[in-house]
């Protein structure tokens, strides 16, 4: 039985309906993960859950220990990983409440610990990252979204920014010229670290606001939260189905 791990982002700090939940405190060579890993059974299937920002929400995107998170999930038995991310919409199709299963990523982050490969290595350290997300995992998410009736895009380029501030309108214009469809702060280095550990990884992104300059006025947390609450409940339902069908 394939053990699915979910990394929940902003607005998704837990799953529901988990039976036999135990909490695993795992120390890694890279420090502690954001929170204990919840190991549980859902619909008869093993599932692992990790709150990316901690419980309660403690770590902003640039302070998340991505290496410890991925390492701990692997140690807990994860065989596939789905990262759930709240994002801003750049492409006109990516309105608030829209889901996207990105197929590519551009990394604009800096200064984050982005590799398990450090010093004194005796093996090849250059992973292939041509296609950053696992295509079989993406297909399964896309099929679920197609059945759900929710608005979604089956591909998109995720632009990962450093945060924690939101972008300027000019930065978003540049990202649009680069080909980015959505913008978020937590997609990298998570995806690359999963690849280094040979964990199939895909991203389920929920657009919670038009990116800077893509709608009149400024971006308010109130407007984001309005979309987050309902949207992440939909994400939770999708993931429950995903796990039950694993």
Contacts with ligand HPA, residue ranges (CB under 6 A): 86-88, 161, 166-167, 183-185, 208-209, 211
Residue 220, marked binder = no
Span between the terminal Cα atoms of the chain, in Å: 8
Minimum separation from the CB atom of position 70 to ligand HPA (A) = 20
Cα gap 142→128, rounded to integer Å? 24
Toward ligand HPA, which CB reaches closer, 38 or 180? 180
Instruction: Spell out the residues 6+ positions from residue 125 whose beta carbon is closer than 8 angstroms to its own.
Output: 115, 117
Calculate the alpha carbon distances from 111 to 23, 29, 122, 136, 189 in Å.
31, 19, 25, 31, 11
Toward ligand HPA, which CB reaches closer, 74 or 236? 236
Minimum separation from the CB atom of position 89 to ligand HPA (A) = 8
Task: Output DSSP code: residue 220.
Answer: -
Which residue's CB comes closest to ligand HPA? 88
Minimum separation from the CB atom of position 76 to ligand HPA (A) = 27
Residue 210, marked binder = yes
Residue 10, marked binder = yes
Toward ligand HPA, which CB reaches closer, 3 or 161? 161
Residue closest to 151 by CA, chosen among 92, 225, 212, 222: 92
Cα gap 143→246, rounded to integer Å? 13
Minimum separation from the CB atom of position 149 to ligand HPA (A) = 24
Residue ranges of the binding site for phosphate: 10, 52-53, 186
């Amino acid at each position: 039985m394939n053990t699915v791990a979910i990394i929940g982002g902003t607005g998704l700090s837990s799953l529901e309906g988990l039976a036999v939940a135990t909490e695993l405190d795992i120390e890694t060579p890279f420090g502690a993960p954001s929170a204990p890993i919840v190991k549980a059974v859902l619909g008869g299937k093993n599932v692992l859950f990790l709150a990316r920002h901690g419980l309660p929400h403690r770590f902003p995107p640039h302070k998340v220990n991505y290496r410890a998170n991925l390492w701990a999930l692997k140690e807990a038995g994860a065989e596939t990983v789905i990262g759930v991310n709240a994002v801003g919409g750049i492409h006109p199709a990516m309105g608030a409440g829209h889901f996207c299963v990105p197929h590519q990523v551009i990394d604009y982050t800096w200064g984050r610990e982005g590799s398990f490969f450090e010093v004194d290595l005796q093996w090849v350290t250059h992973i292939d990252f041509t296609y950053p997300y696992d295509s079989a995992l993406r297909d399964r998410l896309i099929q679920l979204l197609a059945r759900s009736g929710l608005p979604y895009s089956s591909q998109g380029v995720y632009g990962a920014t450093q945060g924690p501030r939101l972008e300027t309108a000019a930065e978003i214009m540049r990202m649009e010229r680069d080909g980015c469809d959505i913008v978020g702060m937590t997609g990298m280095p998570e995806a690359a670290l999963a690849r280094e550990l040979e964990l199939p990884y895909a991203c389920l992104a929920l657009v919670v606001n038009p990116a800077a300059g893509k709608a009149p006025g400024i971006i308010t947390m109130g407007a984001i939260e309005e979309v987050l609450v309902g949207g992440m409940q939909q994400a939770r339902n999708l993931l429950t189905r995903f796990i039950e069908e694993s």
